[in-house]
Amino acid sequence: MTELENAIRLRRTFAIISHPDAGKTTLTEKLLLYGGAIHLAGSVKARRAARHATSDWMKLEQERGISVTSSVMQFEYDGYHVNLLDTPGHEDFSEDTYRTLVAADSAVMLLDNRRGVEERTRQLFDVCKKRRIPIFTFVNKCDRAGEDPLKLISDVEADLAIKCHPVTWPIFRDGTFVGVYDRRRALIHLFSRDEEHGAHRAEVKVGSLDSKELHALLGPESHAQLVHDITLLDEAGHPFDHDELLAGELSPVFFGSALTNFGLEPFLKEFLELAPPPLPRESTIGTIQPTDPAFTGFVFKIQANMDPKHRDRVAFVRVCSGKFEAGMQVNHVRTGKPLRLSAPQQFMARERTAITEAWPGDVIGVMDRGVLRIGDTLSNDGDLEFQGIPRFPPEHFARVIVKDPMRRKQLDTGLRQLTEEGAAQVFFTSGTDTTSPTPIVGAVGLLQFDVMLFRLETEYGVPCRFEPFAGRYPRWVVGPVEDIERVARGQGTTLLFDAKGNPLLLFQDAWALRWAQDKEKTITFLETAP
């Protein structure tokens, strides 16, 4: 086995998807704890806690107890090199989440044991399904009363049209969650509670189903119920099929509690064994295998000011094939120019470690001076381009009102960088004047406006406010200028221009948009920028 093949075999790159408040950031933190990347797990909700969650590095995330940006965390466990991509749970940050999923080889779908599949979970599951991403299911919060596990699995299968195979099964004693049974290894894991609320690894006793010690700890009723459940699953449940897992047709299911750490280690061990290594990627010249010797990768995220003291800008690159080496020169396919990738880093949220090499599946950060864009392909193998980075039209618009007009230069810098990150889209009322006193920002979700305001003030020193701007239905337009301007004079329609000068018609209601699309034959209407 070559060095490249061995590195690929040991890589796992995955994202966690869930509805808000299902415990995604807590699960992320606990996986880092078990992976040895941190030694004390932080709190997500407690605003005055001694530690905040590692993945929630932005001050706004710590204040609100939510994740508003995707994070990259890398650690090693049991010989595997793990790239964990934490994504925002809130639907207002769908763009960031969808782009991160493009960089993942598998996904962990996190469910609340009371609520099962919720709307946001369903949306993200559909994205994974379309991309044929293998999906693992972790049923969280089993430390509190919830749905019957058999009913929950049945509901997941019916709701998402996917087969479920429980790999671990919850064990209850007197209604209290005390452990899990690992069906693949035929082992019982019984956990001990402590007063530290999961800050450290849970103490566990491991033994077989017929172990006298564990039988005594469980009690006759709980033991009999466990034997009954396992027999029922063996006889009536879906058998495990690895090919169906890789095709996204079967989901291995795990039960646990991220808060107390119960069930975390059995899940992590089984997941790393079952999850796929780095997968082939489709490009404009065909399928790129991770074992191809030439380096290729693509940019899926850009983040400015992770280190506010240095005003840095980091491009996150998913390595797709070959070996990456620090300082190597690659072809920046979009511009056709050579680009030297210097000072590469790996991440633990905002904490960084300099690296000298990386392999398929790894996510590296490279310092960027404004050259790279989301979706850019970097290659030592010709002019291929990777596809599938989604773009979304904004659904909400607002005028930017600067409190201090003398800070206009800083505002323009902030808006430009937020646009390049994909965190905002900026528009102007003139195609030639991008210095108009009131630029207009567009966002997919309203919560993005709060993040923009926060970052403009804290990172760029520009206190400002947003005024709602009428319009919910934007379309970029291509066609004769006189026809576009004529349509813009219609009631409830506004002509705007993006940062590149491309015209956009903003309609106040869906009826006006449909009417224009049906009537205007010389204009092409596009949902995203040309």
Say if residues 125 and 89 touch (Cβ distance below 8 Å).
no
pLDDT value, residue 70 = 54
CB atoms under 10 Å from CB of 337, counted, come to 9
Q: What is the DSSP letter of 150?
A: H
Return the structure tokens found at 492: 């409830």
Q: How far is 347 from 59, CA to CA, in rounded Å?
A: 18
Say if residues 530 and 502 touch (Cβ distance below 8 Å).
yes
pLDDT value, residue 20 = 82
At CA 445, angle to CA 439 and CA 447, rounded to 5?
85
pLDDT value, residue 433 = 53
53 exposed, middle or buried (CB, 10 Å; 0-12, 13-18, 19+)? buried
Per-residue pLDDT reduced to its tens digit, 261-311: 999 999 999 999 999 999 999 999 999 999 999 999 999 988 876 665 656
Q: What is the mean pLDDT of the chain?
A: 86
Say if residues 464 and 408 touch (Cβ distance below 8 Å).
no
pTM: 0.81
Nearest to 379 by CA among 421, 341, 420: 341
Is the pLDDT at 219 greater than 50? The verdict is yes
Per-residue pLDDT reduced to its tens digit, 491-506: 889 999 988 889 999 9
Q: How far is 112 from 106, CA to CA, in rounded Å?
A: 20
Say if residues 51 and 40 touch (Cβ distance below 8 Å).
yes
Domains of the chain: 3-274 (3.40.50.300), 281-379 (3.40.50.300), 396-526 (3.30.70.3280)
